[in-house]
Amino acid sequence: MKTAAPEAEGTASDAGIAGVLVTVAYDGTAFSGWATQRDARTVEDTLRGAILAVDPRASGPRGTSRTDAGVHAEGQLAAFDARVAMPPRGWVLTLNQHLPEDVAVRAAQIVPPGFSPRFASVKKRYRYDLLLDKVRDPLLCDRTWRIGYDMDMDRMKREAKAIVGTHDFAAFRAAGDERAETVRTIHSVELTQLDARRWSVTVEGSAFLYNMVRILVGTLVDVARGHLAEGAIARALAAEDRALAGQTAPAHGLTLASIDLAMPEGSGERWPR
């Protein structure tokens, strides 16, 4: 069993409770998503186990984005309340001693107790990674969606412009999303060629519907390969009809890249910065 480094050891504080905000990265391949589920391995439960190993009286974590099974994260944010007094550096080092290889706390910050990052979220950035290759690549199979047919990436770039702005995205959500309010604002969509085979689609917005990014990317791919005519996204938005949009891209190509928060007064410094 691993033991905490001396500098990371804390002492229980009966005088009060401190809030801790952590940035969490994980490979979602072996997880059934972020949120707690019965008889399933989830990131939330895994992180909770590490927190309770350090402070059995802690409460939380309170996550910001409920990523699905197979979806990865570089910048998930979660907060918890602790009675162990420890600086941010100590929380990062100590929690990571209790986490498996496919999850890591990348940063920590002291915040007011009870802080919920979900309700302080201002912007979220998701990145979807595509592999344009006729043959599968075992080194990228869990992190990219391999597209084996010819793609017109200029068509995809033109089509992506229709996503930006404030629209009713009812046509771009999974059937299980029953929220009455489906208007969302997308600030930007960026297509980036990473190398001869790989492209990324980064979508930044204030909030997202269930499977919204995956359906948007699936529609972009369908347009780029000629399965749907250009203008498909605009037509689906106008009609609010899921049948006019494209396929749902697989989960394993999606990564929660980062989240911007409106930080509360009294927040401390983040480590590492």
pLDDT in tens, 174-206: 988 888 999 999 999 999 999 999 999 999 999
Under DSSP, is residue 172 helix (H, G, I), strand (E, B) or coil?
helix
Let me know if residue 261 belongs to a domain: no
Where residue 47 sits, what CATH number does that domain have?
Answer: 3.30.70.580
- The active-site residue out of 14, 45, 55, 68 is 68
Where residue 154 sits, what CATH number does that domain have?
Answer: 3.30.70.660
pLDDT at 176: 85
pLDDT at 6: 36
The pair of structure tokens assigned to 168 is 């009713």
pLDDT at 14: 41
pLDDT at 98: 98
With 80 as the cut, is the pLDDT of residue 248 above it?
yes
Domain match, 160 and 244 both: yes
Q: pLDDT tens digits, residue range 93-102?
A: 999 999 999 9
Confidence of residue 1 (pLDDT cuts 50, 70, 90): very low
The mean pLDDT of 232-244, rounded to a whole number, is 98
Mean pLDDT of the chain: 94
Domain match, 111 and 128 both: no
Cβ neighbours around 195 below 10 Å, total: 6
Domain match, 67 and 11 both: yes
pLDDT at 190: 98
Of the candidates 42, 49, 48, the one whose C-alpha atom is nearest the C-alpha of residue 60 is 48
Residue that is last in its domain, among 115, 133, 148 = 115
Q: How many residues does the chain have?
A: 273
Domain that holds residue 28: 6-115
**pTM: predicted TM-score of the whole model, two decimal places:** 0.92
Domain match, 176 and 111 both: no
Confidence of residue 213 (pLDDT cuts 50, 70, 90): very high
Let me know if residue 35 belongs to a domain: yes
> What percentage of the chain reaches a pLDDT higher than 70?
95
Q: How many domains does the structure of the chain reveal?
A: 2
Report d(CA 122, CA 57) in Å as an integer. 30
pLDDT at 5: 41
Going by C-beta distance under 8 Å and a sequence separation of 6 or more, which residues neighbour residue 258? 74, 75, 124, 125
Going by C-beta distance under 8 Å and a sequence separation of 6 or more, which residues neighbour residue 132? 146, 147, 151, 197, 198, 199
pLDDT at 7: 39
Does 137 qualify as catalytic in the annotation? no
Let me know if residue 270 belongs to a domain: no
pLDDT at 240: 96
Q: pLDDT tens digits, residue range 38-57?
A: 999 999 999 999 999 999 99
Domain match, 49 and 171 both: no
Domain match, 199 and 252 both: yes
> Residue 56: how many CA atoms within 13 Å on its side-chain side?
0
Q: pLDDT tens digits, residue range 262-272?
A: 999 999 999 99
Domain match, 54 and 22 both: yes
Under DSSP, is residue 19 helix (H, G, I), strand (E, B) or coil?
strand
Under DSSP, is residue 230 helix (H, G, I), strand (E, B) or coil?
coil
Domain match, 140 and 105 both: no
Let me know if residue 220 belongs to a domain: yes
Report d(CA 170, CA 85) in Å as an integer. 46
Helix or strand (DSSP H, E) at 185: strand 183-193
